[in-house]
């Protein structure tokens, strides 16, 4: 019991850190879990990529004057921030949602650059998973970023990602995917049921085309990044096998 109490004092220190206490605690929990599965190097890099993604959302939210919580990490699910105020229109929400994948993609690109300098396969693996994380988040269905980005273009963006996620569930089952589908269907039902026409009309035709073009460009760049890093990883593994 005394040993347990001595350990609990460290948890108290974490929570006394204020807004960043939950971030620190959940980050450490996720880090330990991932390290036990993938090793410390990969776990630290993976957590860093998730943090960069969430900080992209936080950065845009601050630019728009929207208060948010600090990032919270959930093992095997990723990380999230909580909005304390709704964006002022669909264009603002699209910008807020895009902040994560944009900055997260730059984080993955930085890993690829570090691989070019160090030739460490770990950096290449992190670049690949970084591209994947951000591409997955661009699936066009809320609560994923893709649904909230394309939601400024059309409300149907909140549901057209359902077949994609159902395919992923059938081919790579994960209970968290079921949760995302359930949340997405509920959110879509709420948005079609509520009188939010003024929300969608707040985006001009030019803004809608710009958002759609930016979204498609980012998707294509991430697909290219994934394919390129996958080919490089295959080459590295092949060379290691020959050695």
Catalytic annotation, residues: 54
Beta bridge partners of 72: 80
Using alpha carbons, list the distances in angstroms from residue 55 to 50, 97, 119, 236.
9, 11, 27, 31
For the chain, what is the radius of gyration of the CA atoms?
A: 20
3-state secondary structure of 78: strand
d(CA 88, CA 92): 6
Q: Could you check whether the bond before residue 196 is cis, i.e. omega within 30 degrees of 0?
A: no
Q: How many separate helices (H) and strands (E) can be counted in the chain? A: 10, 2
d(CA 216, CA 139): 11
């Amino acid at each position: 019991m005394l040993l347990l109490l001595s350990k609990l004092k460290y948890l108290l220190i974490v929570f006394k850190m204020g807004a960043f206490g939950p971030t620190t605690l959940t980050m450490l929990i996720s880090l330990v879990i991932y390290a036990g599965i993938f090793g410390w190097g990969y776990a630290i890099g993976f957590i860093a990529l998730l943090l960069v993604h969430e900080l992209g959302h936080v950065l845009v939210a601050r630019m728009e004057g929207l208060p948010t919580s600090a990032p919270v990490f959930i093992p095997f699910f990723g990380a999230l921030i909580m909005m304390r105020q709704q964006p002022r229109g669909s264009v603002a929400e699209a910008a807020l949602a895009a902040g994560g994948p944009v900055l997260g993609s730059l984080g993955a690109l930085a890993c690829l650059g570090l691989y070019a300098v160090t030739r460490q396969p770990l950096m290449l693996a992190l670049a690949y998973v970084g591209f994947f994380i951000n591409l997955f988040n661009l699936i066009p269905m809320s609560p994923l970023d893709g649904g909230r980005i394309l939601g400024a273009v059309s409300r149907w963006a909140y549901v057209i990602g359902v077949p994609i996620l159902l395919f992923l569930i059938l081919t790579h089952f994960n209970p968290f995917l079921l949760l995302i589908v359930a949340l997405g269907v509920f959110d879509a039902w709420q948005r079609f049921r509520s009188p939010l026409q003024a929300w969608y009309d707040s985006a001009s035709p030019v803004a809608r085309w710009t958002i759609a073009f930016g979204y498609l460009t980012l998707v294509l760049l991430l697909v290219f990044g994934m394919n390129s890093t996958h080919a490089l990883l295959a080459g590295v593994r092949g060379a290691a096998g020959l050695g």
